[in-house]
A = this chain, B = another copy of it.
């Protein structure tokens, strides 16, 4: 055994333990009895304590110094282990364990508070979480910017300043498009009717099939907040059902299938290595978004979807395939980020990005967060939040300690715009497949160009390798303008 082999063998166990921790998270959000939350907090803390000890094990330093790397993948593995070591070594074990314990319990508190629209019941817990995450950010930053340090967990090489600049560049064209669309004479019909849960779950399975989700290595369950979970050969997805809004279930499912196809598509040679998972949340989100939006909300795919919905639910009043396509893409006044249309989605992100950056910088206190949210929302969207479940309590992220995560959603949208441009050039007859409910040619292309490579390259390099050009906002903005001007007959 060489130092490299010893290191990779140790790392393989660490990756396996991390998969277990992830699966506990899945369990907690889908099947765990509510009364088990406190005990689960201790279990998660114990697991985090083990993982933290391994990620900061002094043996890593010796192995990293002595390891000879056989190839580029080996080099990249060493680089990722080294980055992980340096970051984890900066966070005291006690703090890491405490974060695991507190956020595990916080998710239950959040779910109850959201159900009861009770902000006061959540704030002390959120205060605790934000305090611990700030402490972690400051430890990681080591004198630098705490928010940037947190962001690096989700999007290596990104910075708050770059993201703010990106948002500034996108904002004016998105706002102009939104105002044009909402002021247009032609407005698509909204969907009406009731769509029973069992039929929606059947439909969710069909759309997952359409994108090539591998059921032998995954499963679909219900959760309050849809998510995908796991790497390698156990990658599970969740969805939710609202009987008045089947699009919620359909597009949550396609979104999570995108995440899952990325993980399931990674080269098996990278299984349980540092390269064996998506390289960043932004690149992950590019997969979920291109599945959900550029393909799932396309004219071709929605024609197939309309047929499947008619087969399951009978005539629900869609006048034509064109009208149904417009209904799917209707820009509506809503509160919920995960239900937002493509034009307004990024406004939701900008709001959260600014608020959480202020929280970490200490410019905003948790006790003032609801007012800040509601004021900003009124300004950005033009109407007031009607209840906390539609405002500050809508997302699970902060209760999980995921601060620095939100902007990666918009970065993913940007990357998806680039990938879509390249995909359409590479697979010119994609629409013919999508109209048959078969998106697998797109999954095949994405797998070959991007998914199989897992964590081999840095995020922007991953996108550039796949597309053949450096990522920018232009393809996304051009796509949105063309699509929505056509739908709204502008």
Task: List residues of chain B with CB within 8 A of the CB of A24.
Answer: 20, 23
Is A312 part of the binding interface, using a Cβ–Cβ cutoff of 8 Å? no
Tally of this chain's copies: 2
Q: What distance in Å separates the Cβ of A96 from its nearest Cβ neighbour in chain B? A: 13
User: Which residue from B38, B215, B218, B233 sits with its C-beta under 8 Å from A38?
Assistant: B233
A47-B17 contact in complex given A39-B234, A234-B36, C-beta closer than 8 Å: yes
Task: List residues of chain B with CB within 8 A of the CB of A215.
Answer: 33
Tell me whether B272 and A33 are in contact (CB under 8 A): no
Q: Tell me the complex Cα distance, A232–B13, Å.
A: 27
Q: Tell me the complex Cα distance, A394–B50, Å.
A: 38
Is A31 part of the binding interface, using a Cβ–Cβ cutoff of 8 Å? yes
Which residues in window 250-271 of A have CB below 8 A to B? 271
Which residues in window 303-329 of A have CB below 8 A to B? none
A233-B16 contact in complex given A27-B23, A33-B216, C-beta closer than 8 Å: no
Instruction: Give the nearest-CB partner of A32 in chain B.
Output: B234
Contact count band on A: 35 or more
Tell me whether A42 and B12 are in contact (CB under 8 A): yes
Q: Tell me the complex Cα distance, A83–B150, Å.
A: 45
Q: Tell me the complex Cα distance, A234–B38, Å.
A: 10
User: Which residue from B27, B47, B217 sits with its C-beta under 8 Å from A33?
Assistant: B217
Which residues in window 39-57 of A have CB below 8 A to B? 39-40, 42-43, 45-47, 49-50
Tell me whether B214 and A39 are in contact (CB under 8 A): no
Q: Tell me the complex Cα distance, A23–B50, Å.
A: 17
Q: What distance in Å separates the Cβ of A260 from its nearest Cβ neighbour in chain B? A: 11
Q: What distance in Å separates the Cβ of A137 from its nearest Cβ neighbour in chain B? A: 26
Is A187 part of the binding interface, using a Cβ–Cβ cutoff of 8 Å? no
Q: Tell me the complex Cα distance, A39–B218, Å.
A: 13
Instruction: Give the nearest-CB partner of A16 in chain B.
Output: B46
Q: Tell me the complex Cα distance, A17–B24, Å.
A: 11
Q: Tell me the complex Cα distance, A234–B28, Å.
A: 11
Q: Tell me the complex Cα distance, A217–B38, Å.
A: 11
Instruction: Give the nearest-CB partner of A221 in chain B.
Output: B31
Closest 8 CB pairs of A and B: A35-B216, A36-B234, A16-B46, A35-B217, A13-B46, A16-B43, A39-B233, A16-B42
- Listed A/B pairs (22) with beta-carbon separation below 8 Å: A12-B46, A13-B49, A13-B50, A14-B46, A16-B39, A16-B42, A17-B50, A19-B43, A20-B20, A23-B27, A27-B27, A31-B31, A33-B218, A33-B219, A35-B214, A35-B216, A35-B233, A36-B233, A38-B233, A39-B271, A42-B272, A50-B50
